[in-house]
Structure 1
């Protein structure tokens, strides 16, 4: 990890001259620098943000990453709760923050998982919010009730309507944004809500596979296939065996790839569920 520096401190203590700072370092945020040629990680940028606004608390997507959530890009805008001059990549928010809504992770003040979910659900559109909250729930489980309690603690906070719309759909079983998207595609189309991360065994009790999501009553599963299924021969061979065993166990598996269109996916899933005994009601 690179170590960000505050330019004024380096000049004041004599560790760098103005010329050295200008030629050897590049700004991450206003007044905060990293060595030139260094591609900052998200953690580098979080540390730099704390140097830029020392009393601020890390929030939003960056907070979720500190809690272990995946799928947060290194260049994501860092949300801070605290006063901050506007600048690219850094957004300060002057909001009320309770003492029990802050914790320390790796020495950095950060919003708790529940408060982080509260903020994500208010600030993002519904599906992106669900994707972020799914990833957070998967890494650092939180109680939906604790998130909803914050709506009473902060009744005038912006975006509460959006939060209330998104939070019931959060599922920590989703292990990728694509899985979150696929699950919500089914739910929004009026299909029954699937169960995530369901393990299927043979009649003899041998492990077959943990499926992304299933409708257990109808023995129908759905999987979002990543590119490794096409490029990794070992994964492909394993998938062939799994397919045979699922068929033998009378399971029907819906496999989705990124080229599939939403309407086609839903039509196929609906047809399979109806054939398996679903009455067509959500």
Structure 2
């Protein structure tokens, strides 16, 4: 997402020392996000933002708080997760989570934390320019914050994923945010809240998972006793031409499990591509099982039944 202009945020004391009149400082053109700080009105920055209004508001709140930050402070927990664009079950309120090795910051409008330096690796975000916990530390900080263990796996999946161009294994879009080894190191760095849940999640993390829902579908199947499907599987026809990439696959049985998000329904071009891909898969003998959000959260047993029946039919 586009970065709000950090230079437009200012401390009231700095403005007064620079000779700015009080009426300008306190004008309606300026928001008051934190005590002693002013910033341009946020309406145009978060309204209808392509990244989502709530996510944009969280980034904006973090950018604005930088003017207040001490050198040892950094963004952490769910704020860092949003800044790394990691999947969360629901977005938190916009108040930034700010951590520091010493005494926890106590400022109205933020969540302050005192963190043992051994438990946190702090980096600067290459695009946003903000100091924050690195992705592996961020994952470990979520051990007590996510209500369902599947979501810890989903965050881990997102961290180790290497986005690639389907059908072209050697072409990647960027490096992974982290590795399983780094996640394990963050978990073992010291006494950490939610350690038991994190330990359970770690061996379940897989590369090649493109969304939180794909993680949930995979774990629903495995926890029901079914074999674990392969993630992010490219299918080619007999001539070696690329047919499509399927979310989850039982390759030997030619069974594909596809999660259909809202974009598959609302994007006409995506819908057309899906129809063509599924027709070509059927021509090659693949059985495609399509899954929606309602299946995942309201009727997960139906996913298990359909996949189990397909496996039995193909054996």
TMscore range, shorter length: 0.7 to 0.9
Change (3 A) 1:241 1:176: same
Q: Point out where structure 2 has 5 or more consecutive residues left out of the alignment.
A: 47-55, 163-175
Q: What aligned pairs does 1:76-225 form with structure 2 within 5 A after superposition?
A: 76-82=94-100, 83-85=104-106, 87-88=108-109, 90-98=110-118, 101-106=121-126, 107-125=129-147, 126-138=149-161, 140-154=176-190, 156-225=191-260
Q: CA deviation at 1:60?
A: 2.4
Gaps of 5+ in 1: 278-282
Q: In the TM superposition, what is the alpha-carbon distance from 1:160 to its structure 2 partner?
A: 0.7
TM-score by length of 1: 0.84
The answer to whether the aligner puts 1:51 opposite 2:86 as a matched pair is no
Three-state SS of the structure 2 residue aligned to 1:23 is coil
Write the deviation string for residues 2-60 of structure 1: whole angstroms up to 9, x where unpaired.
43333333334333515642533222234333223534534322222333332311222
Q: Contact conserved, 1:121 with 1:167, CA < 8 A, in 2?
A: no
Q: Secondary structure at the match of 2:239?
A: coil
Instruction: Name the SS of the counterpart of 2:115 in structure 1.
Output: coil
Give the CA deviation at 1:276.
2.0
- Aligned counterparts of 1:259 and 1:112: Cα–Cα separation in 2: 33
CA spacing shift, 1:231–1:115, aligned 2, 3 Å: closer
- RMSD across aligned C-alpha pairs, in angstroms? 2.8
Match of 2:290 in 1: 255
Distance in 2, matches of 1:31 and 1:275, equals 68
8 Å contact from structure 1 (residues 50, 56) kept in 2 = no
Between 1:263-272 and 1:7-16, the stretch displaced more is 7-16
Structure-2-length-normalised TM-score: 0.76
Contact 1:59–1:80, Cα closer than 8 Å, also in 2: yes
Q: Is the 8 A contact 1:219 1:250 kept in 2?
A: yes
- The correspondence for 2:272, drawn from 237, 242, 264, is 237
1:272 paired to 2:307: no
Separation of aligned partners in 1, 2:264 and 2:188: 46
Residue 65 of structure 1, CA deviation:
4.2
Cα gap change, 1:46 to 1:158, in 2 (>3 Å):
same
Task: Say whether the 8 Å CA contact 1:122–1:159 is kept in structure 2.
Answer: yes
How many pairs are equivalent?
275
Match of 1:280 in 2: none
Deviations 1:163-213 (A, max 9, x none): 112222223422222222222222222222222110001111111111111
